[in-house]
Chain A
Amino acid sequence: MKLDLNGEKAIYLQIASSIEDDILKNIFEEEQQVMSTTEISVNFKINPATAAKGINLLVNEGILYKKRGVGMFVAQGAKNKILIKRKEEFYHTYIISLIEEANKLGISKEEIMNMIERSKVK
Chain B
Amino acid sequence: MKSIKIENLTKYYGNTQALNDVSLDIETGKIYGLLGRNGAGKTTLINLVTDKIFPTSGKVLIDGEDVSGNDKVLGRIYYMMEKNLFPDYMKVKESFKWTHEFYPGFDMEYAHVLSKKFGLSIDKKIKSLSTGYCTIFKAVTALASNAPLMIFDEPVLGLDANHRDLFYKELLANYTKEAKTMILSTHLIEEVADVLEEAIIIKDGRIILKKSVEDLLEGAYTVSGEITKVDEYVSSRKYTGAEIMGKFKSVTVLEEVKKRDMASINELGLDTGKVELQKLFIALTNV
A118 to B266, CA, bound (A): 30
A62 at the interface (CB under 8 A from B): no
Residues 1-44 of A at the B interface (beta carbon under 8 Å): 5, 7-8, 10-11, 37-38, 41-44
Query: When chains A and B are docked, how far (Å) is the Cα of A56 from the Cα of B226?
Result: 41
Interface centre among A7, A37, A41, A44 (most CB of B within 10 A): A41
B254 at the interface (CB under 8 A from A): no
**Contacts of B51-107 to chain A: CB distance below 8 A:** none
Q: Is the Cβ of B194 less than 8 Å from the Cβ of A5?
A: yes
Q: Is A49 an interface residue (CB 8 A)?
A: yes
- Min CB–CB distance A95 → chain B (angstroms): 16
A8 touches B274 (CB 8 A): yes
Question: Chain B 238-281 against A: per-residue CB contact (8 Å), 1 yes, 0 no?
Answer: 00000000000000000000000000001000000110000000
Residues of A within 8 A of B214 (CB): 10, 50
Task: Identify which of B40-48, B138-146, B170-178 touches chain A.
Answer: B170-178
User: Are A46 and B195 in contact (CB-based, < 8 A)?
Assistant: yes
Residues from chain A with Cβ under 8 Å of B197 in the complex: 47, 49
B169 / chain A contacts, CB cutoff of 8 Å:
42-43, 45
Q: In the complex, what distance in Å separates the CA atom of A43 from the CA atom of B165?
A: 10
CB of B196 to closest CB in A, whole Å? 6
Query: Which residues in B have their C-beta under 8 angstroms from that of A41?
Result: 172, 176
Chain B: minimal CB distance from A118 (Å): 28
CB pair B273 A46 closer than 8 Å: no
Instruction: Report the minimal beta-carbon distance from B232 to chain A, rounded to whole angstroms.
Output: 19
Interface size range of chain A in the complex: 10 to 19
Number of B residues near A (Cβ < 8 Å) is: 19
Inter-chain contact A48/B194, CB cutoff 8 Å:
no
Question: Within B178-206, which residues are at the interface with A (CB < 8 Å)?
Answer: 194-197
Query: Closest CB-CB distance, B181 to chain A, in whole Å?
Result: 13
* Complex Cα gap A11–B194 (Å): 9
With a cutoff of 8 Å between Cβ atoms, the chain B residues found around residue A50 in the complex are 194, 214
Q: Is B110 an interface residue (CB 8 A)?
A: no
Would you give the shortest CB distance from B268 to chain A, in whole angstroms?
A: 13
Contact status A45-B173, CB under 8 Å? no
Give the complex CA separation of A49 and B196 in angstroms: 9
Question: Across the interface, do A48 and B175 meet the contact criterion of CB distance under 8 Å?
Answer: yes
Would you call B118 an interface residue if the criterion is a C-beta within 8 Å of the partner chain's C-beta atoms?
Answer: no
Measured between alpha carbons, how far is A43 from B274 in the docked complex, in Å? Answer: 23
B136 within 8 A of A: no
In the bound complex, what is the Cα–Cα distance between A36 and B120 (angstroms)? 30
Flag if A45 contacts B176 (CB, 8 Å). Answer: no
Given contacts A5-B194, A37-B176, A46-B172, 13 further A-B contacts (CB under 8 A): A8-B274, A41-B172, A41-B176, A44-B194, A45-B165, A45-B168, A45-B194, A46-B195, A47-B31, A47-B196, A47-B197, A49-B197, A100-B266
Give 13 A-B contacts (CB < 8 Å), ordered by A residue: A5-B194, A37-B176, A42-B169, A42-B173, A44-B194, A45-B168, A45-B195, A46-B194, A47-B31, A47-B172, A47-B197, A48-B172, A48-B175
| A binding-site residues for B, Cβ under 8 Å | 5, 7-8, 10-11, 37-38, 41-50, 100
